[in-house]
Structure 1
Amino acid sequence: MAGDKQGLIDRTMHAAALRRWARAARAAKETDLPELRAQRARARRLKTHLDQLIHVADNRLALPVLGNQSFPRPHDADWAWRPELWCGPLPVPGLSSVQSKSMLGNEVTLFHDCAHSEITLRQLRNMREADLAAFGLRLDVFKFDGSYLSLAVDLPEIASQGLKRKHLIRLNTILEMEKRIEIFARLNIKHGPNTEQVVRELPLHQDDVVVEFDLAYTKLNEKRVERMWLDLIFEGPQMNQIILRDLTLSRRKRAEL
């Protein structure tokens, strides 16, 4: 009740201030010059604060919404997901000289075999009007003396529940890079003592990169599915900056023949 009362008082005072300034504006042509000068000084002070508020509000309201899980997905998808790194701010936003098996957040892990790491990972705020994800991931690679570099994304448990060989898993991502390299996506499915792997090369000539993993061609034991994870494998990554503006996954059943 106290909050409602305070809100009513604020609205009443705001309405009264609007009426007062509206009257002053209408009467400005006839107002005595000393009073008009005083009104102008007060109006300028008020305008400074209003301009600052509008500027900050315009910038903040133009940014993608934190925690946003909205993105294009197949109409018949029975599961769809955007990892936490692309949704909201992480407690630790970045890592430098990243060692293998280092995690950024709870779902993303970097793997490599460099003797000396010159790799950085950083979460960055998406600022573009077209972005739906609130955050992106920037990967900077300088000298690279290893033989492999991959980024693993752990999928939530619900993604594995009820998984069948008739399912298609779709990956959507938006990528930017300083120079074009080959990037492969590998879906890993652990079932019992075995792990099925399906590999796709990302079609980087597209702005919105889409690949699908068809489980029909695997030897998946549907009764023993335990978990899934995705690997992004970067070929020849040295002296490059790669930004993943968004990354989403969805699951749907293949149409019956």
Structure 2
Amino acid sequence: MAKPISSFAQALRQRRVLRHWNRVADMAPSQPLSALRSQRGQARQLRRQLDRLIHEAESRLALPLIGSNAIRRPLGADWAYRPVLWRGPLDVPGAASVESRTAIGDEVTVFHDCDVSELTVRQIRNTRESDLAPFGLRMDVFRFDGSFLSLVLELPEDVVQGLTRRHLLRMDAVVEMEKPLEIFARLNVRHGPNTEQIVRELPLHDDDVFVEFDLAYTKMNEKRVEKVWIDLIFEGPEMNEIVLRDLTFSRRPRAEL
């Protein structure tokens, strides 16, 4: 019962403070200059604290909600997913001189073949009005003496439930970069001892950046599907800053012909 009483007392104090300042404002035209000078100083002190509160509240309330899983699902989609890295804060938000096979959270792993790593990765907070994902991933690449740089994204087990060759798997991305580069997405579907692969280049110059993988063009054994993952491959990443603001996946059955 203590909490409701405290809330009531706080509301009562707030009403009294508002009545006080309403009364002071109403009397300001007739107040002596000495009293008005003192009241102006008090009002300015109060306004500084109120402005701090309003600034912080508007900033935080404008951000995408942590844990949000709002996804633009294609029509007919029977599954959709945003990896954890883009949904919530990581225990270790970043690393410098990243070695190959470094895990970023539980679902994302960095791979490269550099002799000397000059790569940093960091989870960042999205702040734009258009952002649906609460977080993004920034990669800063300086000197790059390797032949490849990739992110491997493990998709959850439920993506394989009911997965058939009639499905289209889609990846949507929001990507920013300092200078142009090519990014390829490679779908991997393990079924028994075999792995099917489909490669698509991301259309980074389009307004909507997405790729689709049509499983009808694979030899996937629907009864033996075990695991699905995506390789994001960055071509020519040297001296570039790459920000993946959002990354979502969905699947839908393709229309019958």
TM-score normalised per structure 1: 0.95
Amino acid at match of 1:191: H
Output the CA distance in 1 between the equivalents of 2:75 and 2:231: 26
Which residue in the other structure is 2:155 paired with? 155
Output the CA distance in 2 between the equivalents of 1:208 and 1:117: 32
In structure 2, the gaps of 5 or more residues are: none
Q: Does 1:49 align with 2:77?
A: no
Return the offset for 1:181. 1.5
Report Cα offsets for 1:179-235 as digits up to 9, x if no partner. 212211011111111111111111111243111111111111111111111110111
Report Cα offsets for 1:95-143 as digits up to 9, x if no partner. 1111111011111101111122111111111222221111111112222
How many percent of aligned residue pairs carry the same amino acid? 61
The equivalences for 1:135-150 within 5 A come to 135-150=135-150
- Are the equivalent residues in 1 in contact too, given 2:71–2:80 (CA < 8 A)? no
Which residue in the other structure is 2:109 paired with? 109
Which residue in the other structure is 2:79 paired with? 79
Q: Does 1:214 align with 2:207?
A: no
Return the offset for 1:35. 3.3
Q: Give SS of 1:231's match.
A: strand
Output the CA distance in 2 between the equivalents of 1:156 and 1:127: 27
Output the CA distance in 2 between the equivalents of 1:11 and 1:139: 47
In structure 1, the gaps of 5 or more residues are: none
Output the CA distance in 1 between the equivalents of 2:219 and 2:77: 23
Which residue in the other structure is 1:119 paired with? 119
Which residue in the other structure is 2:92 paired with? 92
Output the CA distance in 2 between the equivalents of 1:142 and 1:44: 48
- Are the equivalent residues in 2 in contact too, given 1:174–1:207 (CA < 8 A)? no
Amino acid at match of 2:144: F
Output the CA distance in 2 between the equivalents of 1:15 and 1:227: 60
Which residue in the other structure is 1:128 paired with? 128
TM-score normalised per structure 2: 0.95
Mean CA deviation greater in 78-87 or 22-31: 22-31
Which residue in the other structure is 1:235 paired with? 235
Output the CA distance in 2 between the equivalents of 1:59 and 1:20: 29
Q: Give SS of 1:241's match.
A: strand
Which residue in the other structure is 1:186 paired with? 186
